[in-house]
Amino acid sequence: MKSVSSPLIQAQHLTGAGEARLLIAISFHFVKGRLVYLDKVVQTLASFPVRRRDLVVFTNTVEMAEQESIRDIFRKAGLVDGRDARLSVETALAHPYNLTWAHKRLISGDFLAPDSPYSHFIYLEDDEQLTFENFAYFLAGRDILRPFGNLVPAYLRMEWCDKLACAMNNDNIAPILLAGRPFISHGEYAFVTADNPYCGGFILDQELAREYIQTRSFDLKRSRAVSTEAGWFGVRERSAMGLTFENPPAPFAYRVVVPVAIASRVAPSCAWLAHLPNNYANDPSHHLGKVAMTDLFASNFNAEKEVALPAFNSTGQKWFRFHHRLGNHFRMLGRGLLIGTMDSLRRVKRMILGPRKPGQA
């Protein structure tokens, strides 16, 4: 089992990640100079210690030599073409950008087939390096966020700036202010929406995939309406937005959220998704890639903006809500010694859950 550094990821999430059966799609518009990025992406995915991993690279090239250069990457990574990796050559494209939508049939077909062997679907652009820790974080985030309107954990893209020798955020042009932003707290972290939620890829489990194929965002044409709401998402960006704009639970602007350490206001590295070209961070004339990952979130959380668990009906779900909120109350008081009696804890419980009903413990 691989070790990870984030306290968000518990042992059960690493175990779950190891048991995963992945169907992975990558869009690769053939450019010889970009093979170096695809190589690194595939090498990283091939190293995942998972139960199953099938990789499909969608490409537009009909040149046999160019196709073979992609298969060379498979072989270098220890993957066998036709067994756990394959090419899908797309020649009937109305526009080159439509290549990024070819993977959708994998979701509605192979992934969601009645006899599907897969637990998770992953879509990536050809230059985004998803690590095993990134994947384990997704599983942890799903467990944490599912009760909150089925929010989905997402990533913050980052590049390395050679001049400043630090990681920079790709997609937000200014620090994200936390003071007026809704959040969900979990231990030392809070989950929030980013100003720009785009991260160039998404992960779906079976539940999310069944929802996704019914939405506007799954369809090239119908997703144009979502693009209008998003403000700027083009054909390629819409193909990678997943459930970002579908049914976000109030008061969140988007369906996807990212974790931020409450004390330091820095997102944990398990939620950083490396954008390998580093072209924004190292281009002084470009407006993107200019905010350091350590400076991406500014101002303090406003306790009044914390989103509590929804009201539940069953006693068991009420107890879950009770323990969650009780833990948050104690965290707000600090980490001092907690001294009390069972009677005092019962009084706190009554304040949160209401009066005890006959026959209720």
Question: Which CATH number does the domain housing residue 70 bear?
Answer: 3.90.550
Give the tens place of pLDDT for each residue, 332-355: 333 333 333 344 444 444 444 454
> Do both 292 and 321 map to the same domain?
no
pTM over 0.95: no
Please report the DSSP string for 4-67 in residue order.
---TTS-HHHHHHHHT-EEEEEEEE---GGGHHHHHHHHHHHHT---SEEEEEEEE----HHHH
Are 307 and 193 contacting, i.e. CB atoms less than 8 angstroms apart? no
Residue 359's pLDDT is what? Answer: 44
Give the tens place of pLDDT for each residue, 209-255: 999 999 999 999 999 988 666 567 899 999 999 999 999 999 999 99
Sign of CA dihedral 213, 218, 224, 168: positive
Residue 97 lies in a domain: yes
Domain count of the fold of the chain? 2
Residue 1 lies in a domain: no
Determine the Cα–Cα distance for residues 138 and 117; give it in Å rounded to an integer: 20
**Reported confidence tier of residue 4, pLDDT bands at 50, 70, 90:** low
> Do both 200 and 322 map to the same domain?
no
Determine the Cα–Cα distance for residues 343 and 340; give it in Å rounded to an integer: 8
CA atoms within 13 A on the CB side of 71: 15
Residue 165 lies in a domain: yes
> Do both 31 and 141 map to the same domain?
yes
> Do both 214 and 259 map to the same domain?
yes
Measure the CA dihedral 168/171/173/179, to 10°: -90
> Do both 190 and 335 map to the same domain?
no
Domain end (from 264, 285, 304)? 304
Helix (H) or strand (E) run with residue 191 in it: strand 189-192
Report CA 143 to chain centroid distance, whole Å.
13
Sign of CA dihedral 124, 129, 131, 134: negative
Give the tens place of pLDDT for each residue, 151-210: 999 999 999 999 999 999 999 999 999 999 999 999 999 999 999 999 999 999 999 999
Residue 267 lies in a domain: yes
Please report the DSSP string for 68-107 in residue order.
HHHHHHHHHTT--BTTTEEEEE----SSGGGGGGTTHHHI
> Do both 157 and 54 map to the same domain?
yes
Domain end (from 304, 323, 343)? 304
Residue 233's pLDDT is what? Answer: 86
Domain hosting 28: range is: 11-304
Residue 361 lies in a domain: no
> Do both 149 and 45 map to the same domain?
yes
> Do both 284 and 347 map to the same domain?
no
> Do both 345 and 261 map to the same domain?
no
Residue 90 lies in a domain: yes
Backbone angle region of 25, left / alpha / beta, with phi > 0 → left and psi within -120 to 50 → alpha: beta
Cα first-last separation, the chain: 41
Residue 358 lies in a domain: no
> Do both 281 and 256 map to the same domain?
yes
Q: Is 178 helix (H, G, I), strand (E, B) or coil?
A: coil
Is the backbone peptide bond immediately before 251 cis, with ω within 30 degrees of 0?
yes
As a whole number, mean pLDDT of residues 117-144 equals 97
Residue 360 lies in a domain: no
Give the tens place of pLDDT for each residue, 12-53: 999 999 999 999 999 999 999 999 999 999 999 999 999 999
> Do both 265 and 283 map to the same domain?
yes
> Do both 66 and 94 map to the same domain?
yes
